[in-house]
Amino acid sequence: MTQKSVKKNYIYNLAYQVLLVIVPFVTIPYLSRILGVENIGINSFVLSIVSYFVLLANIGVGSLGQREIALHQDDRKTYSKIFWDLFFYQAIVGTISFLAYVIYVTFFSSYPGVQWIMAINIVAAVADMAWLYRGLEEYRYISVRNIFIKLCSVVAIFVFVHTSNDLPIYVLINSISLLLSSILLWFKLPKIVNKPVLKDIRIFKYWKDSIIYFLPQIATSIYTVLDKTMLGFITGSEAENGYYEQTYKIIQLCLIIITSLNAVIAPRMAFLYGKGKKKEIQDRMKASFHFIYMITCPMMFGLIAVGSAFSLIFFGEGYEKVQTLLPLFAPIILIIAISNCISGQFLIPIGKRLRTAVYLWVGAAVNIVCNLILIPILASYGAAIGSLIAEIVITVMHVLLLRKYMPLKIVFKPMINYFISGVVMFLVLFLLDNLLSSPTIIVVAAKIVCGAVVYYIVLRFMLHDHFLDYEIQKVKDKIVRR
C-alpha cells in the first residue's frame, strides 16, 4: 500500500471522527436539558455495566484480528482463514457473554428497563467485524457506514426523545445504531473474504493470543468504565455519575483525532516492522508526536482556561459541578495522547501487547486504590484525580519501555514549541477572563478564537515551528497543483 493510500485512509477515518466531534455539540446540550443530570447518570452507570459483557463478547478479537489481518493483507487465502477462525471463536464467547448478561439483569439489575434494551449492544459486538476492514486498511467503507448510521441516530434522537421519561427510547436508539453498524459490514464481506471451509476452521487456534489482547482491554475498562460503576455503587448518586459522564465526554471528544490517527497508523507500523524498516518507523513516530502535541497542547490549556464558562453554556443548569471538573480533568488529554501514541502506533504493532497489558493492569490497580480512597471523600472529583494518577503511571511505564527501541528525544523534543505556545495562549486567556467574565456564547466563542490565533502566531512566527511550516507548505502545494 502506498503512502498516498495511508493518507486517504486517515482522511476517511478522520471524516467520521470529525463527525463524532460535531454531533455531540448538537446532541449533548439537547439531551442534557431534556433528560436531566440524573437520567444521564443512570445511562452512564448502566452502560458501564453492559460494557464489561461487551468486552467479554469481543474477547480481544478486535485488536488481535486487526493485527493478524494487517500482517497478511496481501494474501487473501491466509487472511480469510484467519478471519473465519477468529469470527467463530468470537461468536462462541459472545454467546456465553450474552447469557451471563441475561442472568445478571434477571437477578441483580438496578434499572431493568434500560438494561434489557442494552442487551442489543452485546449482539452488536458479536456481529461486529470492523477489525477485518481495519486490518485490510479499508477505511472508506467503514467511514461511510459509520457516518450514515450516526446521522440517522441523531435525527432519531430529535424526533423521538422529548421528555425526561424518554431515556429508554434514547438507549434503544443508541443500541439499534450499534447493531445496524455491525450488520452493514456483512454486505461487502463476500467481495473481500473467501467462503469458509468448515473442516479447516480452528475455532480455538488463537485463544491464547486473544487473552493477551483481552487482558489490557480489561485493565483499560477498569480505569475508565469502572470509575462510573464505582461512583454509582459508592455514592449511590445518579447525579455524581452524570457530572463525571459529561466531563469525560468532553475529554473523549478532544481525544478523537488522536484515536483516529492511531487506528490508521497501527496496521502500517505492523507492516513496516515486519519488513525491518526501523528508520521509517522512527520517522513516522516523530511526525506523529509533532501532530499530537500540536493538537493536544492547545486543547489542554484551552479547557483549563475556558472550561468553566464553556461547560455552563454547553450543559446548562444542573451541571455546575462540571465547571470545576473539566479544568481538573484537562491534563489527561496530553497524558493519554502520549501513552496511546507509544502503545497504539509502536508497541502493540510490534507485538508487545503483553507488556503493555501489564502496564495497564498496574494503572488499573492504582486507579482502583485511588478510587476507594478518594471517591467516598470527593465523589466525582476523586474519580477524576484517580484517573489522572493512573494515566501518569501508565504513560511513564510506556516511555521507559520505548527508550529500548528509539531515543526518547523523539517523544519529548517535539513537545517544546507546542507546550510553550499553549502556555502563552493560556496566559492571554486568563487575562481576558478578568476583562470578559460574562459566560455567554459570544464571549466564550471570542475567547476560543482569540486563543487559537495567539497559539498560531506564537507557534508560526515566534517559534518558527518547522512541522507546522511543512504542513502548511504541503497544503499550498496541493492547492497550486489543483
Q: What is the mean pLDDT of the chain?
A: 87
Percent of the chain with pLDDT over 90: 43
User: What's the mean pLDDT in 245-257?
Assistant: 84
Please list the helix, strand and coil fractions of the chain in percent, rounded to the nearest 5, in that order: 85, 0, 15
Whether 455 contacts 425, CB under 8 Å:
yes
Give the pLDDT score at 273.
66
In Å, how far are 396, 415, 449 from 297, measured between CA atoms? 18, 9, 15
- Cα 17–chain centre separation: 10
Q: φ, ψ for residue 342 (rounded to 5)?
A: -65, -50
How many domains is the chain partitioned into structurally? 2
Neighbours of 114 (CB within 10 A): 23
Q: Which amino acid is at 112?
A: P
Q: Of the residues 414, 436, 456, which one is the last residue of a structural domain?
A: 414
Of 75-84, 313-322, 364-373, where does the model show the most confidence? Answer: 364-373
Neighbours of 103 (CB within 10 A): 9
**Are 190 and 305 part of one and the same domain?**
no
Neighbours of 233 (CB within 10 A): 11
Whether 255 contacts 379, CB under 8 Å:
no
Give the pLDDT score at 370.
94
**Are 264 and 155 part of one and the same domain?**
no
User: What's the mean pLDDT in 401-417?
Assistant: 90
Count Cβ atoms within 10 A of the Cβ of residue 417 and give its class: 0-12 exposed, 13-18 middle, 19 or more buried: buried
**Are 334 and 249 part of one and the same domain?**
yes
**Are 192 and 273 part of one and the same domain?**
no
In Å, how far are 34, 58, 117, 129, 259 from 90, measured between CA atoms? 38, 6, 22, 10, 24
Whether 390 contacts 365, CB under 8 Å:
no
Q: Of the residues 183, 205, 227, which one is the last residue of a structural domain?
A: 205
**Is the residue at 45 inside a domain?**
yes
Dihedral sign for Cα atoms in the order 169, 172, 178, 181: negative
Give the Cα separation of 70 and 267 in Å (integer). 5
**Are 142 and 110 part of one and the same domain?**
yes
**Are 178 and 290 part of one and the same domain?**
no
Average the pLDDT over each of 67-76, 211-220, 295-304, 370-379 and give the range with the smallest value.
211-220
Q: φ, ψ for residue 348 (rounded to 5)?
A: -70, -45
Q: Model confidence at 401, in pLDDT bands (50, 70, 90)? A: very high
**Is the residue at 449 inside a domain?**
no
Give the Cα separation of 277 and 285 in Å (integer). 13
In Å, how far are 199, 221, 305, 335, 458 from 331, measured between CA atoms? 53, 20, 12, 7, 21
Hey, which bits of 199-311 come out as E strands? Answer: none
In Å, how far are 110, 417, 463 from 420, measured between CA atoms? 48, 5, 9
**Are 245 and 158 part of one and the same domain?**
no
**Are 361 and 259 part of one and the same domain?**
yes
Give the pLDDT score at 201.
86
pLDDT of 2 > 50? The answer is no
Average the pLDDT over each of 188-197, 208-217, 272-281, 397-406 and give the range with the smallest value.
272-281
Give the pLDDT score at 91.
93
- Span between the terminal Cα atoms of the chain, in Å: 24
Name which of 436, 431, 423 is nearest 463 in CA terms: 423
**Is the residue at 460 inside a domain?**
no
Give the pLDDT score at 262.
62
Higher pLDDT, residue 3 or 21? 21
**Are 240 and 363 part of one and the same domain?**
yes
Q: Model confidence at 304, in pLDDT bands (50, 70, 90)? A: very high
Give the Cα separation of 289 and 285 in Å (integer). 6
Q: Of the residues 205, 235, 263, which one is the last residue of a structural domain?
A: 205
User: What's the mean pLDDT in 355-360?
Assistant: 86
**Where in the sequence is the domain holding 116, given as residue range(s)?**
1-205
Q: Which three cell numbers stand for residue 307?
A: 472550561
**Are 158 and 279 part of one and the same domain?**
no
